[in-house]
Amino acid sequence: MKKNQLGQSDLSISELTLGCMSLGTDNQKAKEIIDRALDAGINHLDTADLYDFGRNEEIVGEAIKGKRDQVVLTTKVGNNFSKEKQDWFWDPSKEHIEQGVKDSLHRLGTDYIDFYMLHGGTIDDPIDESIEAFENLKQEGLIRAYGISSIRPNVIREYVERSNIDAVMMQYNMLDRRPEEEILDLLHENSISVLARGPLAKGMLSDRADEHIETKGKDGFLDYSYDELKSIHNELEHVNGDGSLNALALSYILKHPAVASAVFGASSVSQVDDNTDFDQSTLTDETYRNIQSITKAIKYTNHR
């Protein structure tokens, strides 16, 4: 599988990332899913301390025992949570970030994290304090690179100007083209990579789109009504012919040079297979433009 440099770091990640949030809590099943992803050429795993209140990190750590050198490991911090009470509050403080990495390292069973992300963020955060924490962890060798997981253009701009982030994770897919408006080019110009999560739009851009639109799209999605989702699906199938819609969706977001990897979730081995059987190079410029004419170039409004 093709690999791309993550920002200006020394990390090279596969163009597909396994998002681990959906692995579940069965250790053996999770290990099978991760093993299948690694066998398919994926080397980048994405988790977060908040997923299942730390349990997800433990499961991922267990699954990669003996394979740590094959994996680029990403996790996230910023949600100060209580596993016992199962609640949390937003905490981007230096103190929490520096404690959070120690907790994550313990759960993951490793002595370093390849890529560490702030799991959210607002314009009112103590941004310089958060940056200082990440820079300290980098100097100490506890993390190799850092970034943020955010869809807020104003927050992203602050980190572009004030930090040495190597990547930003954000939702991006054929239906949610908001990053194209004001983020993708900015990040590319600054040699900052994009990790695109939600590439299949809750399954509504997958080969099982019909059933997912009926359930997850029945009340609409972003600026799209249910009827528009149905119409777009029909048009995409026409554009794609006999090809896999999963492959088309993944190829579309990987077309922009800022995008280093598409992050998909999987709760079964078959879902890994569905998403790793594709050739990005088959997406022509004409098809790319056709997709853009079918879907909407919506903009960020509330998330500023």
Any idea which residues carry the catalytic annotation? 51
- Rounded CA-CA distance 64/213 in Å is 35
The distance in angstroms from the start CA to the end CA of the chain is 35
- Rounded CA-CA distance 206/263 in Å is 14
67 C-beta neighbours (distance < 10 Å), count: 11
Contacts of 230 (CB under 8 A, 6+ apart): 213
- Rounded CA-CA distance 75/180 in Å is 25
Token look-up 């050429």 returns: 41
Kindly report each contact of residues 291-296 with a partner whose C-beta sits within 8 Å and lies 24 or more positions away, as own/partner: 291/174, 291/236, 291/239, 291/248, 291/252, 292/177, 294/232, 294/235, 294/236, 294/239, 295/174, 295/175, 295/177, 295/232, 296/175, 296/177, 296/223, 296/224
Asked if 212 and 246 count as a contact pair (C-beta separation under 8 A), the reply is no
Relative to beta strand 113-118, strand 167-171 is: unpaired
DSSP state letter for 21 = G
- Rounded CA-CA distance 281/265 in Å is 22
